[in-house]
Amino acid sequence: MTSKTAFTGARIFDGAEWHDRMALVVTDGRVEGLIAADSPTDAMRVPADGALIVPGFIDLQVNGGGGALLNDTPTVDAIRTICAAFARFGTTACLPTIVTDTVDKNVATIAAGVAAVEQGVPGFLGLHLEGPHLAVSRKGAHDPRLIRPMDESDLQRLIEAKRQLPNLLITVAAETVGPEQVSRLAAAGVTVSIGHSDGTYAQVRAAAEAGASVVTHLFNAQSQIGNREPGVVGAALDLPSISAGLIADGIHVHPASIGIALRAKRGPGQIFLVTDAMSITGTDWQSFELTGRTVYRKDGALRLADGTLAGADLTMIDAIRYMHETIGLPLDEALRMASLYPAMAIRTNATHGHLRRGARADFAVLGDDLSVRSTWIGGSKVFG
């Protein structure tokens, strides 16, 4: 039986423009379109008076949430917990992320991701494997004992994983994983991101020419712009084929640096928001364990005992609010950075990241203060 719903009374942002006095019509979990709010319709009406309806947020880097951390428990239940935890904050699709760990942990994580697909876990869009093929010199909070080169068995495991997952994003160092390996991964549909890398501009450009298309958490754990060597940051801002994730919490990147990056990075490759959140998000915990080391929560940040940042204490709506209120972006552009642009980065923007006809009915209902009133995935309410 066909299910048809009209969401009325809200100002609607479809990913491109705002619409007033319109209703969002959803049929069987897909956007049918927008109609005048007072038009006759056989759809069941759901009032959202005075609210904002916006595309659901898409988080391509989320290590944990709601008490679950994928490195600790690489299971479908952990994935379900993570997805549900961030649905409370408007995220309708995410890539649960595992940082550098053992081969066995990666295998278990991939198996959990496949099970999440089979079980239809709401909000599960695929996986992000951040490591272990990184540069020790830019390890950040990753355990250096577990960082290693990519061998043929690793590459084949990733190619096989992509066959079973809707999306697979991997973070590698440009100087560790060569263009030939990048090319094979990209040809298999894996989204290759450069991160935790001391690579040169030339190395990142070679990776991009081989098929790498993303840079992980721009400015963090990567070579910076210099007068004679632009590094990973310079390559990310210069190369139009590269998109870049950004942790917008006021801690990981200075607001002036964010402004410079936004002015430099225009065109096909876009800067999008990520949370890099950990298990502690959505809880009142003050510490947790990451690959055998304690991470402490203090002053809005997550740090190892030596002060190294270890992920972020952030939600996507927090990042949107920061970009709009502190950086000064128009709200529509801040929303695109959390929805359309990440969808573009992993090539799912035909169905995700907007509310145009044919898209999945994934959206958030916000108050004027940008609080999340409710979250809908496939036209079904999952929060609120």
Q: Which domains does the chain have, with CATH numbers?
A: 4-54+356-383 (2.30.40.10), 57-345 (3.20.20.140)
Distance CA 233, CA 220 (A): 9
Is residue 31 within 8 Å of residue 22, measured between CB atoms? no
Catalytic residue set: 276
- Cα–Cα distances (Å) from 297 to 51, 84, 281, 289, in that order, read 33, 22, 10, 11
Give pLDDT, residue 14: 97
Give every residue of the chain whose pLDDT is below 70, as ranges: 1, 268
Distance CA 92, CA 339 (A): 9
The reply to whether omega before 179 is within 30° of 0 (cis) is no
Give pLDDT, residue 1: 65
With b meaning 16 or more CB within 10 Å and e meaning fewer, what string describes 179-204?
Answer: bebbbbbbebebbbbbbbbbbbbebb
For residue 310, which of 277, 272, 273, 274 has the smallest C-alpha distance? 277
* 16: Cα within 13 Å, side-chain hemisphere: 4
Give pLDDT, residue 214: 98
Is residue 56 within 8 Å of residue 363, measured between CB atoms? yes
Structure tokens at 239: 């190369």
Structure tokens at 187: 């040809």
Give pLDDT, residue 363: 98
Give pLDDT, residue 171: 98
Distance CA 119, CA 76 (A): 9
The total of other beta-carbon atoms located within 10 Å of residue 287's CB is 11
Give pLDDT, residue 281: 86
The long-range contacts involving 185-188, CB below 8 angstroms and separated by at least 24 positions, are 185/155, 185/158, 185/159, 185/211, 186/210, 186/211, 186/212, 186/213, 187/211, 188/158, 188/159, 188/162, 188/163
The predicted model scores a pTM of 0.96
Give pLDDT, residue 38: 81
Give pLDDT, residue 289: 86
Distance CA 144, CA 131 (A): 11
Distance CA 9, CA 226 (A): 51
The total of other beta-carbon atoms located within 10 Å of residue 110's CB is 22
